[in-house]
Structure 1
Amino acid sequence: MSSRAAGLLAKGTPREEKLSVVTGRDDLSPVDLATVLFFLAHDQDEGVREGARRRLMDLPGPVLREVASARHVHPKVLDALARLHYLKGEIAVLLASHPDCDHATRVFLADAGIAVPPVRHPVSEPPSRQADEDPEEEFSGEDQPVDEESEAFKSKYQLSQTMGVAEKIKIAQTGDKEWRTILIKDSNKLVSGTVIRNPRVTEAEVLSIAKSSIQNDDILRVICANKEWVKNYQIRKALVENHKTPLPNALRYLSTLTEKDLAHLAKSKNISSVLSTQARKLLMSKKKH
């Protein structure tokens, strides 16, 4: 979503600005237009709400085709368009074929007699790189960070603010990296806990989570229970340094760290005294040998 479109959905947007969209404003891309109209169709102002619904119904074929062919479209926007335009066979098939089209929409279209194509599963992200022998280099060059200043990220973040828990959980189960970055910080523990179980989560993301001040303890327990993730030195080290990691796990990972890291942790005031004391003992033991 462009900043222009996002501005139309921001709190405090004048009624006149909203009405300019529902009465024919055409300086928005097809996807932005459909998305803005969808949200305005739920506006508190009856005039805006009804006008947006009418314009959604009147969207021409070329606009609908562009929306249905776009890379990312909110599932609720696709659902609204499908229910309004299901009698337009070609458009309905395109909407049903969109990777963001949800199951309920596809069922609706199938019940309406549309030849709904098989689900196209998203392509999985490439597996994370194998750890090098040097633990300090395990993640060098791996995974580009999410650009939280990009329009795509801001658009998804704004959409997340309008979603209910059930919808967030659904996206958390299979969403892309931008969605995972947003929803892992969600205040609802069911939502954030679902993200870490997303099969597309990479080790680089796990490391970032383990290093963060995440509030959901369950997330760290899931990480600790994953044998593949804790094979990674940097993840183990981050778990030791995270005060929310269960102490038995932290102690176990502590014993696998290098002398250099043990020396640092032995002096650290940012971990529990139990861990720093054990770090000193392990360090002394290693030096004796």
Structure 2
Amino acid sequence: MKVRESLLKYISPKVPVEVRRDAARLFSSGSSAQDVQVEGAEKLTTADRLTILFILSFDSDPETSKEAATGFAAFDTGELATALADKLDPRLLRSLISLHSDDAELHTLIADNPGADATVKELVAAKVGAQEAVAGPESKEGPESSEEPEEEEEGSIYKRLQKMNAAEKIKLGLTGGKAERGLLINDANKIVSNAVLKNPRITDGEIIMLVNSKTASDEVLRMIARNREWVKNPQVKIGLITNPKTPLPIAMRFLDYIEKRELAKIAKSKNVSSVLSSNAMRKMERMR
């Protein structure tokens, strides 16, 4: 398992056992820096802390491994969501799936993690399928659509999707063609729509259409905003800023990365929030 070099001073077998024990105690949920002093701990991210606990849970020292395993299992779910925004090792992600087998929202975040490999995604899909079987058959109405598919092929796909369970939709989202992606991206199940964004065949044109779509969910827009390649495109940045579904902190962040003429348009626009237009105006004034 590859880890950042800065974490080795807490987890390496060469580090004194007392240091590893202290790290396991400090980074366990509910501990505080006042309880145990560990050098450099305040600079670590939530993902770092989770990774340290996971690795130390396999430590050769029984006291360290027990403390770390307990801390990993009890890690606060709110902090888990924060940690899952960063790339995590697939083995760690698989452990989280096992520990939180009934948490559908957490499964969505795990499947979306940049470190999630095919095995992780298959495990999530299997969990979703099992949960769906317990909950009962899916509604036959399918996702709402404001207009009928224009092409016969798309209409056929639409009917096929209505008969699929969530696990089947996730797999299709990861591998399907453009027509299938266009329908699945609007699925009410977040894991399904996010699977579409993981599809290697998705194009920049589709992403631009999504960021400008008023029907795109805030979760889809969040996922797009996290992708460094997509947000290099100026049209994607503008779409994220001006789409009312984009979470405000994300839209605000992209104001720093657009050209002056686009900033001027947003400053004068009545179609964006007043917070955005005011901030755009202030940035314009600082440029003078």
| Larger-gyration structure (1/2) | 1
Taking structure 1 as the reference length, the TM-score comes to: 0.46
